[in-house]
Amino acid sequence: MPNNLRRNVRSRTLLPAKIYFNNKCSVFDCLVKNISSGGACLKISSAMGVPDHFTLFIPSENERTLCWVIWRNMSEIGVSFARRPRVDGKPVLRVVEDTSGI
């Protein structure tokens, strides 16, 4: 997605993460390429099979958030966060659903 269409400035990052869906029975590993207070770009081996909404878990931050897919191609997914996380030295994401069993 072109930068000029984004509402928020994104920060580059390479954080390993997990995509959970199907009542936590299904999981994909991914890499958070960049992130903002409103969304992120996720690198994934194949975007096929990833639903239109899911929980994103970033283990290094111990944070989870509900995401909606805005765009996708074969190996990347652009998502919007259900709630606005904080950035720049503050927690990247907030818990928006109970995923304590992850």
Domain positions in the chain: 3-81
What is the domain class of 3-81 according to CATH?
mainly beta
Q: What is the pTM of this model?
A: 0.72
pLDDT in the model for residue 99: 44
- pLDDT (tens digit per residue) in 4-57: 455 666 788 999 999 999 989 999 999 999 998 889 999 999 988 999 999 999
- pLDDT (tens digit per residue) in 55-83: 999 999 888 999 999 999 999 999 999 86
pLDDT in the model for residue 63: 85
pLDDT in the model for residue 98: 43
29-35, Cβ contacts within 8 angstroms, sequence gap of 24 or more: 30/56, 30/77, 32/56, 32/58, 33/76, 34/10, 35/10, 35/11, 35/85, 35/87, 35/92
